[in-house]
């Protein structure tokens, strides 16, 4: 029997890719124009047949379908659930979506099938999927856990840097789909377990990494497991955030994306802080956006197609539910938690408002650096910061603003420093700070670099060294510097 991963090579060899799906209108953020996409894929070719079957879910005649998947046979693929015979020909049993170098699978959606969402619907990769992946610290590790694995994307990425991954989901169909996606991608180090939240790993050894994109939508009750609906408000997220970190090995990281509610008149940090600020762990709460309760409900009714195809929950139901829970606003974001259980450790909690649009590429290295830096800032007396060997990381750019002034030529007014990988954390700095940062190469204590810089500018070196801790602490906290 052929390994299913050969099928990946076959469709890729025919040109099935993100680009070929984009060519028919995918990934623009608006629903694709299905009649235009059908017209664009009309001429008979293996690629058009594959795009029609596995993306548009348009039936293909048996000879064309068979030619596109050869040397696999349609019945072989049917046994895996990848194709099925439908009125008018062969269609995909699942959509195949290339994403981040992997082939991901998902159920076709109501607008593609004309059938309402099944209670065991398996979602594809979405915005929360990519946010979680972006905010995951990736290091070579022994054991990773993905809670609510769904189509399996997070587990498959973790399998690239963890020796062993456990992916769990309450939905047995999700487990089947994720398993199939692994076979397709030739990934063999993931174990799939069915069950709720941490239940499938009770009694397991600790994990070096835990990731979760749980069903976080805060809505009146319904029975679609992919969208939550089984628990009150954000209580499922709360228990996950309270319990998951206790399953980390010391030094291990956990990233969870979630929504939480607040009244709107209170501080958005308060409720998650009460779940996250505890001994034995450092936690960084990142708020990425927030919505009024009306906008939130309308957006989800629309995005999850609950209006046309899901459980009939009206906006009024939603508002009555929010009234009962005292919900005024809903925030969307993530928590990154690191277990740090050394005796007498001064554990910290920090909250920031960031924008995902201002995050370029994977932020994992930046997050790990910020955790190390924040810990140094919290643990060390301020004057000892100058004793650390610090360096500016290579992923930076400095933009200077200069003006012409008579007799002086170009004079630098100010400069903007930003990180080019991860969140940009743009800061305005003056010429002295820019020169100092340029001289921080990790080869000597930061205080020596500060003193040298002061001398160059004709200032008092010991005064500069005394004054530098707040600046170093700020630059460390934003991850502009790292400890050599």
Ligand X SMILES: C[S@@+](CC[C@H](N)C(=O)[O-])C[C@H]1O[C@@H](n2cnc3c(N)ncnc32)[C@H](O)[C@@H]1O
Residues of the shown chain interacting with ligand X in the complex, contacts defined by CB under 6 A:
123, 125, 129, 132, 147-150, 153-154, 168-171, 174, 196-197, 213-215, 225-226
- Provide φ and ψ at 383, rounded to 5°: -70, -15
Q: Of the two residues 21 and 217, which places its CB atom closer to ligand X in the complex?
A: 217
User: Token pair 């099925």 is at which residue?
Assistant: 84
Using a 10 angstrom Cβ sphere, with 0-12 exposed, 13-18 middle and 19 or more buried, the burial of residue 422 is buried
Give the shortest CB-397-to-ligand X separation in angstroms. 31
Q: Of the two residues 189 and 431, which places its CB atom closer to ligand X in the complex?
A: 189
Q: Of the two residues 197 and 378, which places its CB atom closer to ligand X in the complex?
A: 197
Q: Of the two residues 153 and 423, which places its CB atom closer to ligand X in the complex?
A: 153
| 8 Å CB contact between 217 and 300 | yes
Q: Of the two residues 223 and 430, which places its CB atom closer to ligand X in the complex?
A: 223
Give the shortest CB-433-to-ligand X separation in angstroms. 40
| 8 Å CB contact between 146 and 211 | yes
Give the shortest CB-170-to-ligand X separation in angstroms. 4
Give the shortest CB-283-to-ligand X separation in angstroms. 20
Q: How many residues does the chain have?
A: 484
Token digits of residue 107: 């159920």
Give the shortest CB-149-to-ligand X separation in angstroms. 5
End-to-end distance of the chain based on CA atoms, in angstroms?
52
For residues 98 and 4, give the distance between their C-alpha atoms in angstroms, rounded to a whole number. 16
Give the shortest CB-232-to-ligand X separation in angstroms. 13
Give the shortest CB-41-to-ligand X separation in angstroms. 27
Helix axis angle, 62-69 relative to 5-13, nearest 10°?
A: 110
Token digits of residue 86: 């439908």
Q: Of the two residues 176 and 374, which places its CB atom closer to ligand X in the complex?
A: 176
Token digits of residue 383: 């004057």
Q: Of the two residues 20 and 154, which places its CB atom closer to ligand X in the complex?
A: 154
For residues 294 and 32, give the distance between their C-alpha atoms in angstroms, rounded to a whole number. 27
Closest CA to 260 of 234, 240, 294: 234
Q: Which residue is nearest to ligand X (CB)?
A: 150
| 8 Å CB contact between 205 and 252 | no
């Amino acid at each position: 029997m052929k390994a299913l991963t050969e099928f990946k090579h076959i469709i890729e060899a025919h040109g099935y890719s993100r680009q070929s799906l984009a060519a028919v209108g995918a990934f623009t953020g608006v629903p694709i124009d299905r009649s235009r996409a059908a017209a664009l894929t009309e001429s008979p070719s293996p690629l058009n047949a594959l795009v029609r079957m596995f993306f548009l879910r348009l039936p293909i005649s048996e000879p064309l379908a068979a030619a596109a998947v050869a040397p696999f046979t349609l019945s072989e693929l049917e046994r895996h659930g990848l194709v099925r015979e439908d009125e008018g020909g062969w269609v995909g049993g699942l959509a195949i979506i290339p994403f981040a170098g992997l082939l991901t699978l998902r159920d076709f959606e109501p607008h593609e099938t004309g059938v309402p969402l099944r209670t065991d619907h398996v979602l594809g990769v979405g915005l929360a999927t990519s946010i979680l992946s972006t905010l995951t610290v990736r290091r070579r590790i022994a054991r990773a856990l993905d809670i609510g694995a769904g189509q399996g994307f997070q587990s498959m990425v973790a399998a690239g840097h963890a020796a062993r991954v456990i992916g769990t989901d309450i939905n047995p169909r999700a487990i089947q789909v994720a398993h199939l996606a692994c076979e397709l991608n030739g990934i063999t180090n993931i174990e799939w377990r069915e069950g709720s939240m941490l239940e499938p790993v009770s009694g397991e050894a600790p994990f070096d990494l835990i990731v979760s994109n749980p069903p976080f939508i805060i809505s009146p009750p319904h029975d679609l497991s992919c969208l939550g609906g089984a628990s009150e408000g954000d209580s499922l997220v709360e228990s996950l955030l309270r319990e998951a970190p206790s399953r980390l090995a010391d030094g291990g990281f956990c990233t969870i994306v979630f929504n939480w509610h607040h009244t709107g008149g209170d501080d958005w940090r308060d409720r998650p802080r009460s779940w996250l600020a505890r001994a034995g762990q450092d936690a960084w709460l990142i708020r990425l956006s927030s919505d009024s309760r009306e906008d939130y409900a309308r957006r989800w009714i629309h995005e999850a197609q609950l209006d046309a195809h899901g459980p009939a929950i009206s906006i009024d139901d939603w508002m009555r539910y929010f009234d009962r829970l005292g919900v005024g606003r809903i925030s969307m974001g993530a928590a990154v938690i690191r277990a740090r259980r050394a005796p007498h450790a001064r554990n910290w909690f920090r909250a920031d408002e960031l924008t995902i649009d201002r995050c370029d590429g994977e932020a994992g290295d930046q997050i790990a650096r910020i955790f190390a830096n924040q810990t140094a800032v919290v643990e060390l007396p301020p004057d000892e910061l100058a004793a650390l060997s610090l360096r500016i990381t290579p992923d930076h750019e400095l933009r200077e603003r200069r003006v012409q002034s008579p007799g002086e030529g170009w004079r630098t007014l100010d400069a903007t420093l930003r990180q080019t990988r991860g969140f940009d954390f743009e800061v305005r700095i003056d010429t002295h700070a820019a020169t100092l940062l340029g001289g921080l190469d990790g080869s000597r204590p930061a205080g020596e670099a500060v003193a040298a810089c002061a001398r160059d500018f004709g200032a008092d070196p010991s005064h500069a060294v005394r004054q530098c801790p707040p600046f170093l602490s700020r630059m460390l906290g934003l991850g502009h510097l790292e400890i050599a």
